[in-house]
Amino acid sequence: MNTAFFISLRYLFTARKEKFISLISLISVLGISIGVMALIIVIAVMTGFDQDLKEKIIGNYSDIIVSSYSGIDENNYAALEKTVRSDRRVRAVSPYLQGQALLKDAEKLFAVAVRGVDPGTLGKVSGFAKYLQQGRFPETSEKAIVIGSELAKFLNIGVDSQLAVYSPLGKQYQFRVCGIFNSGMYDYDMNLTFTGIKAAQELLGAGSRLTALAVKLDRVESAAKVKTALEHNLGMEYNVNTWMDVNRNFLAALQLEKITMFIILTLIILVASFNIISTLIVMVVDKTRDVGILKALGMTSRQIKKIFTYAGALIGGLGILLGAGGGLLVCALLKKYHFIKLPQDIYYLDHLPVAVEIWPDVVLIVGCAMAIVMAATLYPAAKAARLEPVEAIRYE
């Protein structure tokens, strides 16, 4: 065993008289472990939120949306679809019409977004087909509507209920509720409804116009490249957006929040590292005579420096190990048992989502913590290395 490492172990774990040093060493270990554990848990929860939101956004949106500022005429749809499908990365295409309407049930009025869809192709471009809890999607001309589960609760209605629907022009239509979906996103489940394209065109007074084409790709990661290719093929008349473009601000806020929390919680580890500095300084003062004797016996300043560097690294390493283990254990329990409940109307889900990413999250946390710990050993170790043998043992 390395001599410097052996001596550092003796100083930390076999001391009989230096109870104070042992106590502050224990406090240092606990401080580092709490900081690392808190950082791993918080980042795992934020990563879970991030992944869960992205899955729901991708499920509720198509990978790419092709629209036109003047709308898309159904007469041009076939040619437009052919151009879009010419890219081999495009798996499916589905047209839709989007607008606003008022729903009335008894004395309750509620404004909603109405999306006219093709029931035959909707399930190929988004997750709404699999979100359907009851009933079915309507045929293209059928005076029927699919509503979200939250809206159904708010209006206290179910499948086969009748709703008065008011168009933007003030005309009233009678629609039957033919299905209820649950996407897991409160805003969608409360504010979004579906009907057939023809029925939506009549309701919204859109004639033969469409709002956009929803495009599904073979790989969602290729959305940016496909967007560039479609913009080149379609020209300036059409606007092409990916799901990331549509939710750019939201995704940027999530990323900024995660980085901010990482920086803030890293300060816990930084504060805990001062305990390591204190422990090593006290140890250097207490072991002044030992250092003098070791130097008199021929040990170099470099070896003395290593003794206290190893001691600090052992304290920090033990804290990081305990913190990482505790953090991963808590994350596993949170993921399995969901014992922390959330109000679904605020957070869109009823429990904390947890996703532990060993790379880069855990590796980065452990690496940063170890870097802080090693930096904390520099001054005490250097101070011990500068001691002269004669001065060290003069008053002993």
| Helices assigned H by DSSP within 112-168 | 119-125, 128-131, 149-155
- pLDDT over 80 (residue 391): no
Give tens-digit pLDDT for 248-281.
888 888 889 888 989 988 888 888 888 888 888 8
Query: Does this model's pTM top 0.95?
Result: no
Is the N-terminal amide bond of 380 cis, ω within 30° of 0?
no
- pLDDT over 70 (residue 395): no
Contacts of 262 (CB under 8 A, 6+ apart): 39, 43, 365
pLDDT of 230 reads 94
Q: Is 59 helix (H, G, I), strand (E, B) or coil?
A: helix
Give tens-digit pLDDT for 53-77.
888 777 777 899 999 888 898 888 8
Q: Which is it for strands 108-117 and 192-196: parallel, antiparallel or unpaired? A: parallel
Give tens-digit pLDDT for 14-59.
655 556 667 778 888 998 999 999 999 999 999 998 888 888 777 7
Is residue 312 classed exposed, middle or buried when 0-12, 13-18 and 19+ CB atoms within 10 A define those classes? Answer: buried
How many whole angstroms separate alpha carbon 269 and alpha carbon 230?
A: 48
Give tens-digit pLDDT for 339-348.
888 776 666 6
Which residues are 146's β-sheet partners? 179, 194
The domain ranges of the chain are 3-57+250-393, 63-242
pLDDT of 49 reads 87
pLDDT of 345 reads 63
- pLDDT over 60 (residue 177): yes
Token reading at 169: 């022009």
